[in-house]
A and B are shown apart, each in its own frame.
Chain A
Amino acid sequence: MLDGLLMFRDQDSSMKRRLFVSCLSGAALLMSFLAAPALAESGHHEKRPEAHEWSFAGALGRFDRAQLRRGFKVYKEVCSTCHSVKLLAFRNLSQPGGPEFSEKEVVELAASYKVRDGPNDSGEYFERPARPSDRVPPPFANEQAARAAMSGAYPPDMSVLVKARGYGRGFPTFLFDAIPGFSYQEHGVDYVASLLKGYSEPPHDMKIPDGQYYNAYMAGNRIGMPPPLSDGAVTYDDGAPQTVDQYARDVTAFMMWVAEPHLEARKRIGLGVISFLIVFAGLLYFTKRKIWSNVAH
Protein backbone atom coordinates (compact mmCIF):
# COMPACT_ATOMS: atom_id res chain seq x y z
CA MET A 1 0.00 0.00 0.00
CA LEU A 2 2.98 2.29 0.41
CA ASP A 3 3.20 2.48 -3.34
CA GLY A 4 -0.41 3.56 -3.45
CA LEU A 5 0.19 6.31 -0.96
CA LEU A 6 3.22 7.48 -2.85
CA MET A 7 1.23 7.90 -6.01
CA PHE A 8 0.38 11.51 -5.25
CA ARG A 9 1.58 13.34 -8.27
CA ASP A 10 2.10 17.03 -8.55
CA GLN A 11 4.78 19.64 -8.62
CA ASP A 12 6.25 19.11 -5.19
CA SER A 13 5.95 15.35 -5.06
CA SER A 14 9.54 14.79 -3.95
CA MET A 15 9.03 17.09 -1.01
CA LYS A 16 5.84 15.32 -0.08
CA ARG A 17 7.48 11.97 -0.38
CA ARG A 18 10.24 13.05 1.96
CA LEU A 19 7.74 14.31 4.46
CA PHE A 20 5.68 11.20 4.23
CA VAL A 21 8.67 8.93 4.69
CA SER A 22 9.86 10.94 7.67
CA CYS A 23 6.39 10.71 9.17
CA LEU A 24 6.35 6.98 8.72
CA SER A 25 9.80 6.47 10.15
CA GLY A 26 8.86 8.75 13.03
CA ALA A 27 5.84 6.61 13.73
CA ALA A 28 7.99 3.49 13.42
CA LEU A 29 10.50 4.83 15.91
CA LEU A 30 7.73 5.74 18.31
CA MET A 31 6.26 2.29 18.06
CA SER A 32 9.50 0.38 18.54
CA PHE A 33 10.05 2.48 21.63
CA LEU A 34 6.57 1.42 22.73
CA ALA A 35 7.11 -2.23 22.01
CA ALA A 36 10.17 -2.50 24.26
CA PRO A 37 8.42 -1.86 27.60
CA ALA A 38 5.60 -4.16 26.49
CA LEU A 39 7.91 -7.14 26.46
CA ALA A 40 9.49 -6.22 29.76
CA GLU A 41 6.15 -5.54 31.41
CA SER A 42 4.44 -8.80 30.61
CA GLY A 43 5.26 -10.19 34.07
CA HIS A 44 5.40 -13.88 33.19
CA HIS A 45 8.39 -15.71 31.87
CA GLU A 46 6.96 -17.62 28.95
CA LYS A 47 9.56 -18.52 26.41
CA ARG A 48 8.99 -17.48 22.84
CA PRO A 49 7.91 -20.56 20.86
CA GLU A 50 10.69 -21.90 18.70
CA ALA A 51 10.35 -21.85 14.93
CA HIS A 52 10.00 -25.28 13.36
CA GLU A 53 10.40 -26.44 9.78
CA TRP A 54 6.89 -27.18 8.53
CA SER A 55 6.31 -28.77 5.15
CA PHE A 56 3.00 -26.89 4.88
CA ALA A 57 4.48 -23.43 5.52
CA GLY A 58 4.88 -20.87 2.77
CA ALA A 59 3.15 -20.31 -0.54
CA LEU A 60 4.17 -23.73 -1.89
CA GLY A 61 3.47 -25.59 1.32
CA ARG A 62 2.07 -29.12 1.20
CA PHE A 63 1.37 -31.60 3.97
CA ASP A 64 3.68 -34.55 4.41
CA ARG A 65 1.29 -37.53 4.17
CA ALA A 66 3.52 -39.84 6.21
CA GLN A 67 3.77 -37.19 8.91
CA LEU A 68 -0.01 -36.75 9.02
CA ARG A 69 -0.46 -40.52 9.37
CA ARG A 70 2.07 -40.65 12.19
CA GLY A 71 0.43 -37.63 13.78
CA PHE A 72 -2.95 -39.34 13.64
CA LYS A 73 -1.42 -42.36 15.35
CA VAL A 74 -0.07 -40.16 18.14
CA TYR A 75 -3.48 -38.51 18.47
CA LYS A 76 -5.24 -41.87 18.55
CA GLU A 77 -2.93 -43.50 21.04
CA VAL A 78 -2.14 -40.56 23.30
CA CYS A 79 -4.20 -37.39 22.95
CA SER A 80 -7.57 -39.02 22.32
CA THR A 81 -7.83 -40.33 25.86
CA CYS A 82 -8.62 -36.76 26.96
CA HIS A 83 -9.01 -34.52 23.88
CA SER A 84 -11.87 -34.65 21.38
CA VAL A 85 -11.68 -33.71 17.69
CA LYS A 86 -15.38 -33.10 17.25
CA LEU A 87 -15.18 -31.59 13.78
CA LEU A 88 -13.21 -34.45 12.24
CA ALA A 89 -15.23 -37.11 10.43
CA PHE A 90 -13.65 -40.46 9.59
CA ARG A 91 -14.34 -39.79 5.90
CA ASN A 92 -11.99 -36.76 6.09
CA LEU A 93 -9.07 -39.12 6.66
CA SER A 94 -9.33 -40.38 3.08
CA GLN A 95 -10.06 -37.10 1.33
CA PRO A 96 -7.39 -35.48 -0.87
CA GLY A 97 -4.97 -33.14 0.86
CA GLY A 98 -4.95 -35.02 4.18
CA PRO A 99 -3.32 -38.23 5.43
CA GLU A 100 -5.08 -39.88 2.46
CA PHE A 101 -5.76 -43.25 4.04
CA SER A 102 -7.50 -45.60 1.62
CA GLU A 103 -11.28 -45.80 1.85
CA LYS A 104 -10.99 -49.39 2.99
CA GLU A 105 -8.65 -48.40 5.83
CA VAL A 106 -11.09 -45.70 6.88
CA VAL A 107 -14.05 -48.10 6.91
CA GLU A 108 -12.08 -50.48 9.14
CA LEU A 109 -10.84 -47.68 11.35
CA ALA A 110 -14.34 -46.26 11.78
CA ALA A 111 -15.73 -49.70 12.60
CA SER A 112 -13.28 -49.96 15.50
CA TYR A 113 -15.06 -47.01 17.20
CA LYS A 114 -18.48 -47.09 18.82
CA VAL A 115 -20.88 -44.19 18.32
CA ARG A 116 -24.22 -43.51 19.96
CA ASP A 117 -27.23 -43.66 17.71
CA GLY A 118 -30.96 -43.83 18.13
CA PRO A 119 -33.61 -43.82 19.23
CA ASN A 120 -34.46 -47.20 17.72
CA ASP A 121 -37.95 -48.61 17.25
CA SER A 122 -38.29 -49.28 20.96
CA GLY A 123 -37.21 -45.72 21.76
CA GLU A 124 -33.78 -46.54 23.08
CA TYR A 125 -30.40 -45.10 22.28
CA PHE A 126 -27.85 -47.70 21.32
CA GLU A 127 -24.24 -48.03 20.32
CA ARG A 128 -23.15 -49.16 16.91
CA PRO A 129 -19.83 -49.33 15.07
CA ALA A 130 -18.97 -45.99 13.45
CA ARG A 131 -19.21 -45.41 9.70
CA PRO A 132 -16.97 -43.15 7.62
CA SER A 133 -19.67 -40.46 7.62
CA ASP A 134 -19.58 -40.27 11.44
CA ARG A 135 -17.50 -37.81 13.36
CA VAL A 136 -14.79 -39.14 15.65
CA PRO A 137 -16.54 -39.77 19.00
CA PRO A 138 -15.27 -37.65 21.94
CA PRO A 139 -13.70 -39.25 25.02
CA PHE A 140 -16.18 -37.51 27.33
CA ALA A 141 -19.90 -36.98 26.86
CA ASN A 142 -19.70 -33.28 27.75
CA GLU A 143 -17.57 -30.62 29.37
CA GLN A 144 -18.83 -31.38 32.87
CA ALA A 145 -17.98 -35.07 32.53
CA ALA A 146 -14.49 -34.13 31.37
CA ARG A 147 -13.94 -31.74 34.25
CA ALA A 148 -15.19 -34.33 36.73
CA ALA A 149 -12.75 -36.91 35.39
CA MET A 150 -9.84 -34.47 35.03
CA SER A 151 -10.00 -32.95 38.53
CA GLY A 152 -11.45 -29.71 37.21
CA ALA A 153 -9.39 -29.16 34.09
CA TYR A 154 -11.04 -29.22 30.68
CA PRO A 155 -8.95 -30.65 27.83
CA PRO A 156 -9.90 -28.41 24.88
CA ASP A 157 -11.26 -29.83 21.65
CA MET A 158 -8.39 -30.19 19.15
CA SER A 159 -10.34 -29.54 15.92
CA VAL A 160 -9.19 -25.94 15.42
CA LEU A 161 -6.87 -25.67 18.38
CA VAL A 162 -3.75 -24.67 16.45
CA LYS A 163 -5.68 -21.79 14.87
CA ALA A 164 -6.91 -20.76 18.31
CA ARG A 165 -3.39 -20.36 19.64
CA GLY A 166 -0.70 -17.87 18.77
CA TYR A 167 1.74 -15.43 20.22
CA GLY A 168 2.56 -11.78 19.70
CA ARG A 169 5.52 -11.20 17.42
CA GLY A 170 5.95 -7.54 18.29
CA PHE A 171 6.64 -4.54 16.12
CA PRO A 172 7.88 -4.49 13.40
CA THR A 173 8.04 -8.29 12.87
CA PHE A 174 4.28 -8.65 12.77
CA LEU A 175 4.10 -6.36 9.75
CA PHE A 176 6.46 -8.60 7.75
CA ASP A 177 4.41 -11.67 8.67
CA ALA A 178 1.84 -10.66 6.05
CA ILE A 179 4.26 -9.86 3.25
CA PRO A 180 4.91 -12.28 0.37
CA GLY A 181 8.34 -13.85 0.78
CA PHE A 182 8.44 -13.15 4.51
CA SER A 183 4.99 -14.37 5.41
CA TYR A 184 4.73 -16.33 8.62
CA GLN A 185 1.46 -17.97 9.57
CA GLU A 186 2.76 -20.74 11.81
CA HIS A 187 2.26 -19.02 15.18
CA GLY A 188 -0.20 -21.65 16.39
CA VAL A 189 1.72 -24.77 15.33
CA ASP A 190 5.04 -23.44 16.60
CA TYR A 191 3.41 -22.68 19.93
CA VAL A 192 1.72 -26.07 20.26
CA ALA A 193 4.78 -28.06 19.20
CA SER A 194 6.99 -26.05 21.57
CA LEU A 195 4.52 -26.52 24.40
CA LEU A 196 4.43 -30.29 23.93
CA LYS A 197 8.20 -30.31 24.35
CA GLY A 198 8.31 -27.55 26.94
CA TYR A 199 7.99 -29.53 30.17
CA SER A 200 10.85 -29.35 32.66
CA GLU A 201 11.57 -28.85 36.33
CA PRO A 202 10.32 -25.43 37.50
CA PRO A 203 12.86 -22.79 38.52
CA HIS A 204 13.40 -23.12 42.28
CA ASP A 205 11.67 -19.83 43.08
CA MET A 206 8.44 -21.07 41.51
CA LYS A 207 5.79 -23.08 43.34
CA ILE A 208 3.74 -25.43 41.21
CA PRO A 209 0.49 -26.59 42.85
CA ASP A 210 -0.48 -30.26 42.87
CA GLY A 211 -2.11 -31.41 39.66
CA GLN A 212 -0.25 -28.77 37.66
CA TYR A 213 3.00 -28.88 35.78
CA TYR A 214 5.69 -26.43 34.81
CA ASN A 215 5.80 -25.61 31.10
CA ALA A 216 8.17 -23.03 29.67
CA TYR A 217 5.73 -21.91 26.95
CA MET A 218 2.37 -21.96 28.73
CA ALA A 219 0.91 -18.61 29.77
CA GLY A 220 1.83 -18.24 33.43
CA ASN A 221 4.09 -21.31 33.08
CA ARG A 222 1.52 -23.56 34.78
CA ILE A 223 -0.35 -26.16 32.83
CA GLY A 224 -2.94 -28.74 33.91
CA MET A 225 -1.95 -31.27 31.25
CA PRO A 226 0.62 -33.80 32.44
CA PRO A 227 3.55 -34.27 30.03
CA PRO A 228 1.74 -36.28 27.34
CA LEU A 229 4.67 -37.60 25.33
CA SER A 230 7.68 -39.70 26.16
CA ASP A 231 10.33 -41.30 23.96
CA GLY A 232 9.15 -44.59 22.49
CA ALA A 233 5.55 -44.21 23.68
CA VAL A 234 4.13 -44.62 20.19
CA THR A 235 5.48 -47.20 17.77
CA TYR A 236 6.08 -45.90 14.27
CA ASP A 237 6.20 -48.43 11.46
CA ASP A 238 7.78 -46.12 8.86
CA GLY A 239 11.17 -45.84 10.56
CA ALA A 240 10.72 -42.25 11.78
CA PRO A 241 12.49 -41.56 15.09
CA GLN A 242 10.33 -42.38 18.10
CA THR A 243 11.23 -39.30 20.10
CA VAL A 244 9.24 -36.63 21.90
CA ASP A 245 10.47 -34.08 19.38
CA GLN A 246 9.25 -36.15 16.44
CA TYR A 247 5.92 -37.00 18.11
CA ALA A 248 5.33 -33.33 18.94
CA ARG A 249 5.96 -32.21 15.37
CA ASP A 250 3.91 -35.03 13.87
CA VAL A 251 0.85 -34.56 16.02
CA THR A 252 1.00 -30.78 15.57
CA ALA A 253 1.13 -31.18 11.79
CA PHE A 254 -1.88 -33.47 12.08
CA MET A 255 -3.67 -30.83 14.14
CA MET A 256 -2.90 -28.24 11.47
CA TRP A 257 -4.53 -30.43 8.87
CA VAL A 258 -7.59 -31.03 11.08
CA ALA A 259 -7.89 -27.29 11.62
CA GLU A 260 -7.45 -26.44 7.95
CA PRO A 261 -8.27 -29.53 5.86
CA HIS A 262 -8.30 -27.54 2.60
CA LEU A 263 -4.93 -25.85 3.18
CA GLU A 264 -3.28 -27.55 0.21
CA ALA A 265 -6.11 -26.70 -2.16
CA ARG A 266 -6.13 -23.15 -0.85
CA LYS A 267 -2.44 -22.61 -1.54
CA ARG A 268 -2.50 -24.38 -4.88
CA ILE A 269 -5.54 -22.47 -6.14
CA GLY A 270 -4.22 -19.26 -4.62
CA LEU A 271 -1.03 -19.53 -6.61
CA GLY A 272 -3.00 -19.91 -9.83
CA VAL A 273 -5.35 -17.06 -8.96
CA ILE A 274 -2.53 -14.66 -8.13
CA SER A 275 -0.47 -15.53 -11.21
CA PHE A 276 -3.54 -14.95 -13.35
CA LEU A 277 -4.39 -11.68 -11.63
CA ILE A 278 -0.87 -10.34 -12.14
CA VAL A 279 -1.11 -11.04 -15.88
CA PHE A 280 -4.62 -9.59 -15.93
CA ALA A 281 -3.51 -6.43 -14.12
CA GLY A 282 -0.65 -6.12 -16.60
CA LEU A 283 -3.04 -6.35 -19.54
CA LEU A 284 -5.31 -3.78 -17.93
CA TYR A 285 -2.34 -1.49 -17.45
CA PHE A 286 -1.28 -1.62 -21.09
CA THR A 287 -4.85 -1.19 -22.28
CA LYS A 288 -5.27 1.78 -20.00
CA ARG A 289 -2.02 3.29 -21.27
CA LYS A 290 -3.07 2.80 -24.86
CA ILE A 291 -6.37 4.52 -24.24
CA TRP A 292 -4.77 7.44 -22.45
CA SER A 293 -1.88 7.74 -24.90
CA ASN A 294 -3.38 10.73 -26.71
CA VAL A 295 -4.46 12.65 -23.64
CA ALA A 296 -2.11 14.93 -21.75
CA HIS A 297 -2.89 14.36 -18.11
Chain B
Amino acid sequence: MSTKNVTETTPAEPNRRDILYIATGAAATVAAGGMVWPLISQMNPDASALALASTEVDLAPIPLGQIVTVKWRGKPVFIRHRTADEIKAAQDTPLTELPDPEADSKRAQKPEWLVVIGVCTHLGCIPTGKSGEFDGWFCPCHGSTYDVSGRIRSGPAPTNLEVPKYAFLSDKKIKIG
Protein backbone atom coordinates (compact mmCIF):
# COMPACT_ATOMS: atom_id res chain seq x y z
CA MET B 1 0.00 0.00 0.00
CA SER B 2 2.98 2.30 0.45
CA THR B 3 3.57 4.28 -2.71
CA LYS B 4 7.02 5.02 -3.99
CA ASN B 5 7.58 8.65 -4.66
CA VAL B 6 7.07 9.53 -8.27
CA THR B 7 10.31 10.93 -9.59
CA GLU B 8 9.95 14.38 -11.01
CA THR B 9 10.06 13.63 -14.71
CA THR B 10 7.66 16.33 -15.78
CA PRO B 11 8.11 19.30 -13.49
CA ALA B 12 5.77 21.47 -15.55
CA GLU B 13 2.79 19.32 -14.68
CA PRO B 14 1.89 19.26 -11.00
CA ASN B 15 1.73 15.65 -9.79
CA ARG B 16 -0.40 14.23 -7.02
CA ARG B 17 2.12 15.08 -4.35
CA ASP B 18 2.28 18.72 -5.39
CA ILE B 19 -1.51 19.00 -5.36
CA LEU B 20 -1.57 17.57 -1.84
CA TYR B 21 1.06 20.06 -0.68
CA ILE B 22 -0.72 22.97 -2.32
CA ALA B 23 -4.07 21.96 -0.83
CA THR B 24 -2.55 21.60 2.64
CA GLY B 25 -0.78 24.94 2.33
CA ALA B 26 -3.98 26.62 1.16
CA ALA B 27 -5.96 25.11 4.04
CA ALA B 28 -3.29 26.27 6.49
CA THR B 29 -3.60 29.78 5.10
CA VAL B 30 -7.38 29.68 5.49
CA ALA B 31 -6.98 28.39 9.06
CA ALA B 32 -4.55 31.16 9.95
CA GLY B 33 -6.82 33.78 8.38
CA GLY B 34 -9.85 32.42 10.21
CA MET B 35 -8.03 32.59 13.52
CA VAL B 36 -6.65 36.07 12.94
CA TRP B 37 -9.88 37.71 11.80
CA PRO B 38 -11.73 37.63 15.17
CA LEU B 39 -8.58 39.01 16.80
CA ILE B 40 -8.69 42.01 14.49
CA SER B 41 -12.45 42.45 14.39
CA GLN B 42 -12.76 42.58 18.18
CA MET B 43 -11.15 46.03 18.19
CA ASN B 44 -13.99 47.56 16.18
CA PRO B 45 -16.69 49.49 18.11
CA ASP B 46 -18.83 46.95 19.95
CA ALA B 47 -22.61 46.59 19.78
CA SER B 48 -23.24 48.92 22.72
CA ALA B 49 -21.15 51.66 21.09
CA LEU B 50 -22.91 51.18 17.76
CA ALA B 51 -26.28 51.45 19.52
CA LEU B 52 -25.36 54.98 20.54
CA ALA B 53 -24.40 55.96 17.00
CA SER B 54 -27.43 58.24 16.70
CA THR B 55 -29.10 60.51 19.21
CA GLU B 56 -32.33 62.50 19.29
CA VAL B 57 -32.44 66.09 20.51
CA ASP B 58 -35.50 68.06 21.51
CA LEU B 59 -35.04 71.65 20.29
CA ALA B 60 -38.06 73.15 22.05
CA PRO B 61 -36.27 74.14 25.28
CA ILE B 62 -33.48 76.04 23.49
CA PRO B 63 -34.17 79.81 23.73
CA LEU B 64 -33.55 82.12 20.81
CA GLY B 65 -29.92 83.21 20.59
CA GLN B 66 -28.62 80.35 22.76
CA ILE B 67 -26.19 77.57 22.01
CA VAL B 68 -26.53 74.16 23.64
CA THR B 69 -23.94 71.41 23.53
CA VAL B 70 -25.02 67.79 23.25
CA LYS B 71 -22.75 64.75 23.25
CA TRP B 72 -22.85 62.56 20.19
CA ARG B 73 -20.43 59.67 19.61
CA GLY B 74 -18.30 61.08 22.40
CA LYS B 75 -17.95 64.48 20.72
CA PRO B 76 -19.69 67.79 21.45
CA VAL B 77 -22.32 68.96 18.97
CA PHE B 78 -23.25 72.66 19.06
CA ILE B 79 -26.89 73.47 18.38
CA ARG B 80 -27.38 77.21 17.90
CA HIS B 81 -30.78 78.80 17.85
CA ARG B 82 -29.87 81.74 15.62
CA THR B 83 -31.50 85.19 15.76
CA ALA B 84 -32.71 86.95 12.61
CA ASP B 85 -29.62 89.21 12.68
CA GLU B 86 -27.29 86.24 12.91
CA ILE B 87 -29.05 84.49 10.04
CA LYS B 88 -28.77 87.62 7.95
CA ALA B 89 -25.08 88.02 8.77
CA ALA B 90 -24.41 84.42 7.85
CA GLN B 91 -26.35 84.53 4.61
CA ASP B 92 -25.02 87.90 3.44
CA THR B 93 -21.34 87.03 3.78
CA PRO B 94 -19.83 86.94 0.27
CA LEU B 95 -18.33 83.53 -0.45
CA THR B 96 -15.18 85.24 -1.72
CA GLU B 97 -14.31 86.29 1.84
CA LEU B 98 -14.24 82.70 3.00
CA PRO B 99 -11.13 80.49 3.12
CA ASP B 100 -13.44 77.44 2.73
CA PRO B 101 -16.34 78.83 0.67
CA GLU B 102 -19.69 77.30 1.53
CA ALA B 103 -23.12 78.90 1.48
CA ASP B 104 -25.01 79.13 4.78
CA SER B 105 -28.04 77.53 3.14
CA LYS B 106 -25.92 74.44 2.49
CA ARG B 107 -24.98 74.24 6.17
CA ALA B 108 -28.26 74.84 7.95
CA GLN B 109 -31.32 72.80 6.95
CA LYS B 110 -33.52 75.37 8.66
CA PRO B 111 -31.93 78.84 8.93
CA GLU B 112 -32.79 79.32 12.61
CA TRP B 113 -31.02 76.08 13.63
CA LEU B 114 -27.30 75.55 13.11
CA VAL B 115 -25.98 72.11 14.01
CA VAL B 116 -22.18 71.65 13.91
CA ILE B 117 -19.66 69.30 15.47
CA GLY B 118 -17.82 71.31 18.11
CA VAL B 119 -14.35 70.19 17.24
CA CYS B 120 -11.90 72.71 15.76
CA THR B 121 -10.74 71.46 12.38
CA HIS B 122 -7.20 72.51 13.20
CA LEU B 123 -6.09 70.13 15.96
CA GLY B 124 -9.28 69.00 17.65
CA CYS B 125 -9.78 71.51 20.48
CA ILE B 126 -13.28 72.63 21.51
CA PRO B 127 -13.97 76.25 20.43
CA THR B 128 -15.85 78.59 22.78
CA GLY B 129 -19.20 79.95 21.57
CA LYS B 130 -20.30 83.55 20.93
CA SER B 131 -16.79 84.86 20.92
CA GLY B 132 -14.24 86.01 18.41
CA GLU B 133 -14.42 88.71 15.78
CA PHE B 134 -17.45 87.24 14.01
CA ASP B 135 -19.46 86.37 17.13
CA GLY B 136 -19.34 82.73 16.09
CA TRP B 137 -16.75 80.57 17.79
CA PHE B 138 -13.19 81.11 18.87
CA CYS B 139 -10.71 78.31 19.42
CA PRO B 140 -8.52 79.03 22.45
CA CYS B 141 -5.76 76.67 21.34
CA HIS B 142 -4.43 78.45 18.25
CA GLY B 143 -6.87 81.30 17.70
CA SER B 144 -9.04 80.06 14.86
CA THR B 145 -12.20 82.16 14.48
CA TYR B 146 -15.48 80.83 13.13
CA ASP B 147 -18.56 82.83 12.12
CA VAL B 148 -22.22 82.26 13.06
CA SER B 149 -22.41 79.60 10.36
CA GLY B 150 -19.43 77.76 11.87
CA ARG B 151 -17.26 78.70 8.89
CA ILE B 152 -13.56 79.35 9.33
CA ARG B 153 -12.73 83.04 8.93
CA SER B 154 -9.21 83.42 10.28
CA GLY B 155 -6.55 81.38 12.02
CA PRO B 156 -4.81 78.10 11.22
CA ALA B 157 -7.88 75.83 10.89
CA PRO B 158 -8.17 74.66 7.27
CA THR B 159 -11.91 73.99 6.97
CA ASN B 160 -15.32 74.92 8.39
CA LEU B 161 -16.75 73.20 11.46
CA GLU B 162 -18.19 69.91 10.27
CA VAL B 163 -21.96 69.57 9.95
CA PRO B 164 -23.02 66.11 11.17
CA LYS B 165 -25.62 64.06 9.37
CA TYR B 166 -28.94 65.00 10.94
CA ALA B 167 -32.63 65.09 10.10
CA PHE B 168 -35.68 66.88 11.45
CA LEU B 169 -38.06 64.28 12.87
CA SER B 170 -40.58 67.04 13.55
CA ASP B 171 -40.48 70.82 13.75
CA LYS B 172 -38.73 70.81 17.10
CA LYS B 173 -36.91 67.50 17.12
CA ILE B 174 -33.78 66.34 15.31
CA LYS B 175 -31.98 63.05 15.04
CA ILE B 176 -28.21 63.31 14.76
CA GLY B 177 -26.41 60.40 13.12
Contacts and interface: CB of A to CB of B under 8 A. Distances in A.
Within the complex, are A and B direct neighbours (CB within 8 Å)?
A: yes
Contact of A276 (B20, B21, B31): B31
A91 B48 CA distance: 9
For chain A, the bracket of interface size reads 10 to 19
A283 B48 contact: no
A83 to B, nearest CB: 22
B30 interface: yes
B51 A280 contact: no
A286 B24 CA distance: 9
A133 B2 CA distance: 63
A15 B24 CA distance: 37
A98 B34 CA distance: 25
Interface string B17-53: 1001101100110110010000000000001100110
B5 A293 contact: yes
A293 B24 contact: no
- Where chain B touches its partner, the secondary structure class is helix
B108 to A, nearest CB: 24
A283 B27 contact: yes
Contacts of B27: 276, 279-280, 283
A91 B3 contact: no
Nearest to B3: A293
A145 interface: no
B48 A89 contact: yes
A89 B23 contact: no
Interface residues of B, number: 19
Contact of B20 (A89, A273, A277, A290): A290
A101 to B, nearest CB: 15
Contacts, number: 40
A132 B51 contact: yes
Given A133-B51, A294-B5, A280 B28 contact: yes
A284 interface: yes
Interface in A245-288: 273, 276-277, 279-280, 283-284, 286-287
Contacts of B2: 293
B28 A290 contact: no
A209 B51 CA distance: 47
A286 B20 contact: yes
A91 B30 contact: no
Contacts of B3: 293
Contacts of B20: 283, 286-287, 290
Nearest to A133: B51
Nearest to A95: B47
Contacts of A131: 56
B24 A284 contact: yes
Contacts of B28: 280
A230 B31 CA distance: 52
A132 B21 CA distance: 52
A294 B4 CA distance: 8
Contacts of A287: 20-21, 24
Nearest to A292: B2
Contacts of A133: 48, 51-52
Contacts of B5: 290, 293-294
A276 B32 CA distance: 12
Given A91-B47, A273-B34, A280-B31, 7 more contacts: A133-B51, A276-B31, A276-B34, A277-B31, A284-B24, A287-B21, A294-B5
Interface of B: 2-5, 17, 20-21, 23-24, 27-28, 30-31, 34, 47-48, 51-52, 56
15 contacts: A89-B48, A131-B56, A132-B51, A133-B51, A133-B52, A273-B34, A276-B30, A280-B30, A283-B27, A286-B20, A287-B24, A290-B20, A293-B2, A293-B4, A294-B5
Q: What 5 pairs across the A-B complex have the smallest Cβ distances?
A: A133-B51, A283-B24, A280-B27, A287-B24, A91-B51
